[in-house]
Amino acid sequence: MLRSGRVAEEYFDKYQFEADPVLLDEVAAGMVPLVPEGTEVLAGLEMGGIAVVTALGRRTGLPCAFVRKAAKAYGTARLAEGADVKGRRVLVVEDVVTSGGQIAISTGQLRNLGARIDHALCVIDRQEGGAEVLAAAGIRLLALLRREDLERD
Binding residues for 5-phospho-alpha-D-ribose 1-diphosphate: 3, 68-69, 72, 94-102
Q: How far apart are CA 97 and CA 105, in angstroms?
A: 13
User: What is the separation of C-alpha 114 from the centre of its chain, rounded to a whole number of angstroms?
Assistant: 18
Beta-bridge partner residues of 64? 42
DSSP 16: H
Annotated binding site: 3, 68-69, 72, 94-102, 126
Task: Tell me which amino acid residue 72 is.
Answer: K
Q: How far apart are CA 54 and CA 66, in angstroms?
A: 9
Q: How far apart are CA 74 and CA 127, in angstroms?
A: 37
Which pairs with CB-CB distance under 8 Å and at least 24 residues apart come from 68-73?
A: 69/45, 69/102, 69/105, 69/106
Annotated binding site for orotate: 98, 126
User: 93, 52 in Cβ contact below 8 A?
Assistant: yes
